A and B are shown apart, each in its own frame.
Chain A
Amino acid sequence: MATSSAISTTASAAPQPSVQSGLWSWLTTVDHKRIGLLYLYTALFYLLVGGLEALLIRTQLARPNLSVVSAEMYNQLFTMHGTTMVFLVVMPLSAAFFNYLIPLQIGARDVAFPRLNAFSYWVYALGGLFITLPIFFGLAPNGGWFGYAPLSGPTYGGGYNMDFWVLGLQILGISSLAAAFNFITTIINMRAPGMTLMRMPMFTWMSFVVQFLIVLAFPVITAALFFLQFDRFFGTNFYQVQAGGDPLLWQHLFWVFGHPEVYILVLPAFGLVSEVLPTHSRKPLFGYNVMAFSGMMIGFLGFGVWAHHMFAVGMGPVADSIFAVTTMLIGIPTGVKIFNWIATMYGGSLRFPTSMKFAIGLIAMFTIGGISGVMHSSPPSDLQQTDTYFIVAHFHYVLYGGAIMGIFAGIYHYFPKITGRLMNERLGSWHFWLNFIGLNLTFFPMHFSGMLGMPRRIYTYDAGQGWDLFNMISTVGTYLLLVAGLIFAYNFFSSRKRGAVAGNDPWGGATLEWSIPSPPPEYNFAQIPEVTSRYPMWDLKAPDRTASLEHVHPSADDIAAAHAVPVHEETERRSAKELGIAIPFSTIRPFMVALGIIIMFSGLIVLHVGEFPLAMAAMLGGSAFMVGSLYAWLTSPLE
């Protein structure tokens, strides 16, 4: 099977429906796989929301001097498009894969803290509503996804719009941090015997790096947001220029978070394509060690480049030079990854299912974004490009061409594992090509309109500046992307029911998740596997591919302590009870704690409205509800 060129669609048994169903079971689940699905569906919904926002933006910009939406609504649309795509789409889509895949890839039965995991999801889900719903009342955030103070402060950004943004991001930060503590612990402490760090699958590796970025970057924006929150609600002076406040403080704090955030968005996608490419090249990943270390290097350097977002503010030649150099340096580990992916395919026995097309698409598209990135690492060049559509083109090639393409590669690759059925390849191919053409039609012309001086974020423009054609092409491309998205949605939902049955391992995968049934039973592994190399499933099914690689057995003590058995295919589907595996209890309490947090933060909005008693009731009531639910959670047994 591993050496046959056709993708196996035969399997022993049809996928079984999930044992639990109904709304209550979803509200109370602590199973990492179901939480992963919740993340996936919620984030795909927000992808639609963020996409429609983009569609309205592009419709407004299709021709000069249109007024499809009002200028005020336009501000809300571009702010929410960025905020939605970063915090409600790409990060949660990555989180869906963290949840679903990390325990399966490291041979664990769940994450370290299953209930904390449910809490992370519910904070995200409720926080997403908190920040998204105001757009229906014309009250959505309107100061850009970067929320530059003092423009987002009380003096220039009055009203409720930016209140929702400040508080919404605070809420979403809680979710990301809680999840990061959980995944770091899971990866450090729950690997199967023999799975040393340097034998972890590359997706787990990149996820590991990302969790550290989250842990170290999010507190910085938390502090910056607290300052802004205090300025807005309590009249402090953090960003008040008349009181001596520094207008650059926000920019520094925001980008100390914001640049690592870029890698938080893209490294999981890099991890996913690092799984897809070796599988469909039927060759081990080229330069595994270098891939792992370049990921770490990107994470490390990612904290030292933030001020390249601020060349135009006039930091002086010394600071500009330092950040120019670090920015050029970070291109090296990123370039290393590109070359390693290409070298992985070189000489391989390639096959091109949709996931592989998206993975190769990522290499090509991300490279374009990477090259324009190196262009504006140079301050003199950047000064010409800052705040123009050239920058918009750059980061969409990085985030759409990088993060989103990689995530689609991951969805097509792991759909059979998640649902037990394969996605339709013909529709997948349509999706890929329309997406690929649409992406380039939309974003490539922005390089030109930007070079011709078209500024970002403008509501409309006059004819005769040479921008008309490029804008029209961009808008047409966006509609093409909508069509591609609809094909994907149809394929996704119809394949869940009618796709070909996948079996354990439809692609001939190398890692542990392919050794268990699809969809996996609630306990994942009936027996914890004993890992001796980086490619345990290839050791089993295609030993010639891994013959030259190091194989080391774990210590007998570890094997005995974990009751581990050699890697094998698990085909039987028995209940956890029959196998004597303890499964954590379902519980509503994490949801209740999340709800308490939302009520508490909503109290601040009410305070701004001026309803003081109601605001105090919401804040104190929300806090009491949160603390009470937290104690109820902590005093109840896990399993």
Chain B
Amino acid sequence: MATVAAAGAHEAHEHAHYTTTGLNHRKIAMWTFIGSECMLFGSLISTYLVYKGRSVVGPFPHEAWTSPTGQAFKPILNIPVTSASTFVLLMSSLFMVLALAAVENKGKPGYEGLLGASKFWLAATAAAGATFLGFQAFEFTSFVHEGLTIRTNLFGTSFYTLTGFHGTHVAVGVLWLMTMLFIDLKRGLEPRDAINVDIMALYWHFVDVVWIAIFTLVYLIK
């Protein structure tokens, strides 16, 4: 669905046509897309919560577990590590804001230096997103080593699906950011391109907000 939104988002009349609301078509489409994404993540998160504590076998997220064969499992969630990755993702939203401001105000007084360096901020946002994905890859790998796969129990099934869907959204965002960075490197983004960055930023912030919900509900609340 993210591709659909990207398709809708990039497509539109380049010229300033009359619009009823004065808003850009793509921006309205992105908001409706975010509305549908809320329902998608709402369903995924609800399912996770409904299944919380209903796994027949471990490992469990917050409790230790000893298997019938006597194997001991620690609580599997590593909250300090995920807090770090959460911090990185939240910082990426800040970088995104600065990237948008840099493109919007390119050439204006006060935006000559770092504040106007859209390439830097786009690269920083993409890098932060990629770092978050790296953390997630590390997390998934270590969980599998500790004995939790997507097939192990209801927790594994609903946890990997929920966080995996979120990770896929981050990956699409990173791809989008890198495409924008490529355009910036190739021809330089101008204030008239700000709408494109703005729409991408909407998507990126949404993906961040969803993570705040997931981090709170999955990791912090026992």
Point out residues on A near B: beta carbons under 8 Å. Answer: 112-116, 119, 174, 177-178, 180-182, 184-185, 188-191, 193, 195, 215-220, 222-224, 226-227, 230, 234-238, 242-246, 249, 253, 256, 528, 558, 561-563, 582, 593, 626-627, 630-631, 633-634, 637-639
Point out residues on B near A: beta carbons under 8 Å. Answer: 1, 3-8, 10-15, 18-21, 23, 25, 28-29, 32-33, 35-37, 39-40, 42-44, 47, 50-51, 54-56, 150-151, 153-154, 156-158, 161, 165, 179
Across the A-B interface, give the 6 residue pairs with the lowest CB-CB distance, nearest first: A223-B43, A219-B40, A219-B39, A562-B18, A634-B10, A236-B157
> A90 CA to B15 CA in the complex, in Å?
36
Q: Which residue of B lies closest to A220 (CB)?
A: B43
Within the complex, which residue of B10, B56, B151 is in contact with A244, where a contact is CB–CB below 8 Å? B56
Within the complex, which residue of A182, A219, A558 is in contact with B36, where a contact is CB–CB below 8 Å? A219
Contact A113 B47 (CB under 8 A): no
Query: Which residues does chain A contribute within 8 Å of B6, judged by CB atoms?
Result: 630, 634
Contact A249 B29 (CB under 8 A): no
> A222 CA to B12 CA in the complex, in Å?
27
> A244 CA to B40 CA in the complex, in Å?
23
> A191 CA to B44 CA in the complex, in Å?
36
Known: A188-B21, A193-B18, A236-B157. 12 other contacts (CB 8 A): A219-B40, A219-B43, A220-B43, A222-B43, A223-B47, A227-B161, A237-B156, A243-B55, A244-B55, A582-B15, A593-B7, A637-B14
For residue A437, give the distance in angstroms from its CB to the closest CB of chain B. 42
Can you identify 13 A-B contacts, CB atoms within 8 angstroms?
A116-B4, A218-B36, A220-B42, A223-B44, A236-B157, A243-B153, A244-B51, A253-B43, A528-B18, A593-B3, A627-B3, A634-B11, A637-B14
> A593 CA to B6 CA in the complex, in Å?
12
A638 and B28 in contact, given A177-B1, A222-B40 (Cβ under 8 angstroms): no
Query: Which residues does chain A contribute within 8 Å of B14, judged by CB atoms?
Result: 637-638
Contact A185 B50 (CB under 8 A): no
Query: Which residues does chain B contribute within 8 Å of A245, judged by CB atoms?
Result: 51, 154
Query: Which residues does chain B contribute within 8 Å of A185, judged by CB atoms?
Result: 8, 25, 28-29, 32
Contact A184 B28 (CB under 8 A): yes
> A216 CA to B36 CA in the complex, in Å?
5
Contact B35 A230 (CB under 8 A): no
Query: Which residues does chain B contribute within 8 Å of A174, judged by CB atoms?
Result: 1, 4
Within the complex, which residue of A177, A224, A243, A256 is in contact with B4, where a contact is CB–CB below 8 Å? A177
Contact A113 B18 (CB under 8 A): no
For residue A383, give the distance in angstroms from its CB to the closest CB of chain B. 25
Query: Which residues does chain A contribute within 8 Å of B37, judged by CB atoms?
Result: 219
For residue A564, give the distance in angstroms from its CB to the closest CB of chain B. 9
> A174 CA to B19 CA in the complex, in Å?
26
> A216 CA to B42 CA in the complex, in Å?
11
Q: Which residue of B lies closest to A637 (CB)?
A: B14
For residue A345, give the distance in angstroms from its CB to the closest CB of chain B. 33
Contact A181 B23 (CB under 8 A): no
Within the complex, which residue of B12, B42, B51 is in contact with A112, where a contact is CB–CB below 8 Å? B12
Query: Which residues does chain B contribute within 8 Å of A188, judged by CB atoms?
Result: 20-21, 28
A630 and B19 in contact, given A185-B29, A223-B43, A244-B54 (Cβ under 8 angstroms): no
Query: Which residues does chain A contribute within 8 Å of B42, judged by CB atoms?
Result: 219-220
Query: Which residues does chain A contribute within 8 Å of B56, judged by CB atoms?
Result: 242-244
Contact B54 A561 (CB under 8 A): no
Query: Which residues does chain B contribute within 8 Å of A631, judged by CB atoms?
Result: 179
For residue A615, give the distance in angstroms from its CB to the closest CB of chain B. 18
A215 and B32 in contact, given A174-B1, A234-B151 (Cβ under 8 angstroms): yes
> A627 CA to B161 CA in the complex, in Å?
23
Contact B44 A237 (CB under 8 A): no
For residue B14, give the distance in angstroms from its CB to the closest CB of chain A. 7
> A634 CA to B12 CA in the complex, in Å?
10
Within the complex, which residue of A116, A195, A237, A563 is in contact with B151, where a contact is CB–CB below 8 Å? A237
For residue B54, give the distance in angstroms from its CB to the closest CB of chain A. 5
Query: Which residues does chain A contribute within 8 Å of B18, judged by CB atoms?
Result: 193, 528, 558, 561-563
> A180 CA to B56 CA in the complex, in Å?
41
Contact A237 B25 (CB under 8 A): no
Q: Which residue of B lies closest to A560 (CB)?
A: B18
For residue A337, give the distance in angstroms from its CB to the closest CB of chain B. 26
Query: Which residues does chain A contribute within 8 Å of B7, judged by CB atoms?
Result: 113, 115-116, 119, 178, 593, 630, 633-634
Q: Which residue of B lies closest to A186 (CB)?
A: B25
> A217 CA to B20 CA in the complex, in Å?
27
Contact A113 B43 (CB under 8 A): no
Contact B153 A237 (CB under 8 A): yes
